[in-house]
Homo-oligomer: A and B are copies of this chain.
Amino acid sequence: MTIQKIKATIVGVTGYAGLELLRLLYSHPFIDVAIITNTQPDGHDISEQFPHFSGMYNLSPEAFDALHIMQKTDIVFFATSSGISKDLAEPFILANFPVIDLSGDFRLTADDYQKWYHKTPAEPALLAKSQYSLADFYDNETTSYIANPGCYATATLLALAPLAQHHLLDQNSIVIDAKSGLSGAGKSLTTASHFVNVSDNFTMYKPNSHQHIPEITQQLHIWQPDIAHIQFTTSLLPINRGIFVSAYVKLKEPRTPQQLQELFENTYADKTFVRVMPSNELPNIKQVVGTNFADIGLTYNPETQFLTIVSVIDNMIKGAAGQAIQNANHFFGFTESIGLNLIAQYA
């Protein structure tokens, strides 16, 4: 019996996340990319603009056409910037057509979106249909509109989940110092992304104002209802890929390092893509770049009573395209690691 492959559409294929989806889905045994779209399709094969794709695909970006997408494919990935999917989603939602949205447009309430993105949010009726899906904790059985979490949010939530789920976080002492490589900032040509300004440099660029803050707080609040805010800053690392989150937290109740280690190991024992380091060992970025893994390590300081948790991910994979595929695997009932069995290149 021939397995009918799932056909996928990627909207906004020429951004980093879209290209990463295209790259990763190439090796997915059950999902084929059938349609790719961007805002100014020129009829040329994707490899003309991106020579590294030469010989791999036979696809040219098309104009966005919701009906065509629903007729010809089985799932659509929105790899668009914020402010776009909110205006394109409706047909899919009405038709219950599966969507994995990598943008922020369906992650928050209308009020939070307006406040943090400074844009008109999606219609509340549509927002109500979406599910914020941190893939390691949600199985997507009952939703067809999946809001893929942001990269910083993913790394941060995975660092804090075991503690939040057990109501252990001291709301007054949650300090997150998050750092990312440049691909997280997108391809826009800005002073901030000019090589000379980034190379050999390190910059804190959105203290207390990054758009991932509300989704982190929202999810933490679901796990631990007394959490209303987090101290969260973002900085730019002079590298292409990777997110390194240093979380400094205090606990409501004392726990020994041993207990904390076990808490993390138990929470993640059955999570394919979250690896907890041995006691007091901390992960570095290159362990996960090129993979869908989040690696987590902890170390407790009894003198200051701060628990330091380090969480690392590849911002384009676990933080975007990989998590999207993981969410798609859930939706279709595939083994969640299908197409994501990747080992870090490291050297």
Contacts and interface: CB of A to CB of B under 8 A. Distances in A.
A265 B50 CA distance: 19
A55 to B, nearest CB: 6
Interface stretch (A76-84, A125-133, A280-288, A325-333): A280-288
Interface in A182-208: 182-183, 187, 189-191, 193-204, 207-208
Given A23-B343, A346-B19, A237 B202 contact: yes
Interface string A206-229: 011000000000000000000001
Contacts of A207: 282, 299, 301, 308
Interface residues of A, number: 85
A231 B56 contact: no
Contacts of A244: 202, 204, 235
A16 interface: yes
A199 B195 contact: yes
Given A200-B240, A310-B204, A304 B231 contact: yes
B177 A246 contact: yes
Given A20-B347, A235-B246, A282 B204 contact: yes
Contact of A347 (B19, B177, B310): B19
A202 B56 contact: no
Contacts of A53: 343
A285 B202 CA distance: 6
Number of copies: 4
Interface in A9-29: 16, 19-20, 23, 26-27
B201 A182 contact: no
Given A208-B299, A231-B306, A246-B233, A52 B343 contact: yes
**In the complex, which of the residues A16, A283, A284 has the most CB atoms of chain B within 10 Å of its own CB atom?**
A284
A259 interface: no
B187 A189 contact: no
Contacts of A202: 179, 237, 239, 242, 244, 284-285
B288 A52 contact: yes
A306 B199 CA distance: 30
A248 B248 contact: yes
Contacts of A289: 200
Nearest to A192: B195
A196 B193 contact: yes
A341 B27 contact: yes
A344 B52 contact: yes
B231 A301 contact: yes
14 contacts: A19-B346, A20-B347, A26-B343, A51-B287, A52-B346, A175-B175, A179-B202, A189-B194, A202-B285, A204-B310, A207-B299, A229-B303, A237-B238, A290-B290
